[in-house]
Amino acid sequence: MKKSQGVFCYLANKGFKNYFELFKSLFLLKKNFLFNYKHDVIVFHESNFNKLIIYIYSFIFSIEFRLINLNEQYYTNKQNIKIDSDLKSFGIGYRSMCFFFFSQFYKHIKDYKYYCRLDTDSFLTGKINFDFFQSMKDNNFLYGYI
């Protein structure tokens, strides 16, 4: 159920450190923003993400997890993909993440007017005393950044 026109989005990876950082980020987001302003949170993940973590975090934070396949585009088309020599130092995972955010991401958030992309190591360390999604709407903003 959609709570508002704004959504927070994460792309989470497996692993103890990543699970801990995601928990910390979600905890601080809830404490310093979502406690006062009700918005959705979607965590995108691949099939190897721990199912118990999904269950527990969904319950604690009232968020949605969405399964994606980051490398599908690469592996189904790798014979046709030419990688610029300047980009070879970036791994398949990083390039697949970029492809996801520039092409497939929007089909997942098309019902929202605004989104805020956070990394699992993004931490809101202090209270935010205004709803920046509402501020964007009130001021007819299309884009914001820090």
Q: Exposed e or buried b for every residue in 112-138, given b needs 16+ CB within 10 A?
A: bebbbebebebebeeeeeebbbeebee
C-alpha 57/C-alpha 141 separation (Å) is 32
pLDDT, one tens digit for every residue, the chain (146 residues): 577 899 999 999 999 999 999 999 999 999 999 999 999 999 999 999 999 999 999 999 999 999 998 877 666 766 666 777 777 777 777 878 888 888 889 999 999 999 999 999 999 999 999 999 999 999 998 887 76
Give pTM, 2 decimals. Answer: 0.88
Are the beta carbons of 114 and 137 closer than 8 angstroms?
Answer: yes
pLDDT in tens, 113-144: 999 999 999 999 999 999 999 999 999 988 87
